[in-house]
Amino acid sequence: MIDSAMSAQKPSRHILSKSTFIRGCQCHKSLYLYKHSYKSRDPLTPAQRAVFNRGTNVGVLARRLFPGGVDASPPTPFQFQRSVARTREEVDSGTEVVYEAAFNHLGVLAAMDILVKEDDPPLGSRGSVYRAYEVKSSTGISETYLLDAALQYWVISGSGIELSDISIVHIDTGYVRRGDLELDRLFRTQSVLAEVLQRQEFIANKVEELKALIGEPEVPEIEIGPQCNDPYPCDFIGTCWKDVPEYSVFDLSRLSEERKFELFRSGVVEVGAVPDDFPLSEKQRIQVEVERSGTALIDHAALEDFLDRLQYPLYFVDFESFQPAVPLYDDSRPYQQIPFQYSLHVAESAEGVLRHEEFLAEAGPDPRRPFLEALLAALDSSGSVLVYNRTFEETRLAELTDEFIEYRAEISGIQARILDLMLPFRNQSYYTPQMRGSYSIKRVLPALAPELSYDGLAIQDGTQASIAYERLLRETDARAIGRVRRRLLEYCKMDTLAMVKILHVLGREVGRSVVADPGDGR
**pLDDT tens string 171-187:** 999 999 999 999 999 99
Residues 6+ apart with CB under 8 A from 514: 307, 310, 350, 503, 504, 506, 507
pTM of the model: 0.92
H-helix segments, 122-224: 143-158, 183-186, 193-198, 200-214
Residues 6+ apart with CB under 8 A from 103: 84, 87, 109, 110, 111, 112, 155, 156, 158, 159, 161
pLDDT at 17 over 60: yes
Asked if residues 91 and 161 have their Cβ atoms less than 8 Å apart, the reply is yes
pLDDT at 519 over 90: no
* Average pLDDT of the segment spanning 116-143: 88
Note the pLDDT of residue 9: 43
Condensed to tens digits (0 to 9), the pLDDT of residues 323-361 reads: 999 999 999 999 999 999 999 999 999 998 999 999 999
What's the CA gap between 445 and 286, in Å, rounded? 20
Report how far apart, in Å, the C-alpha atoms of 225 and of each of 27, 29, 234, 260, 379 are: 10, 12, 11, 10, 49
| CA atoms 43, 49, 55, 56: torsion sign | positive
Note the pLDDT of residue 123: 63
Please name every residue paired with 16 in a beta bridge, in sequence order, or none if there are none.
108
Q: Which of 496, 506, 490 is nearest to 387 (CA)?
A: 496
What's the CA gap between 191 and 187, in Å, rounded? 13
* Average pLDDT of the segment spanning 33-53: 94
Domain ranges of the chain: 4-214, 246-292, 301-509
Note the pLDDT of residue 221: 95
* Average pLDDT of the segment spanning 215-223: 96
Note the pLDDT of residue 120: 77
What's the CA gap between 4 and 106, in Å, rounded? 17
- CATH 3.30.420.10 is held by the domain 301-509: yes
Asked if residues 194 and 216 have their Cβ atoms less than 8 Å apart, the reply is no
Query: Starting from the edge strand earliest in sequence, which strands make up the sheet with 385-387, in order?
Result: 355-360, 338-347, 314-322, 385-387, 418-420
* CATH architecture classification, 4-214: Alpha-Beta Complex (3.90)
Condensed to tens digits (0 to 9), the pLDDT of residues 439-485 reads: 999 999 999 999 999 999 999 999 999 999 999 999 999 999 999 99
What's the CA gap between 45 and 42, in Å, rounded? 9
pLDDT at 12 over 60: no
Residues 6+ apart with CB under 8 A from 159: 2, 6, 103, 104, 105
Number of C-beta neighbours around residue 417 at 10 A: 16
pLDDT at 269 over 60: yes
* Average pLDDT of the segment spanning 488-495: 98
What's the CA gap between 220 and 49, in Å, rounded? 29
Instruction: Tell me the percentage of the chain whose pLDDT exceeds 70.
Output: 96
Condensed to tens digits (0 to 9), the pLDDT of residues 282-338 reads: 999 999 999 999 999 999 999 999 999 999 999 999 999 999 999 999 999 999 999
Q: Residue 441 burial (CB < 10 Å; 0-12/13-18/19+)?
A: buried
Asked if residues 18 and 175 have their Cβ atoms less than 8 Å apart, the reply is no
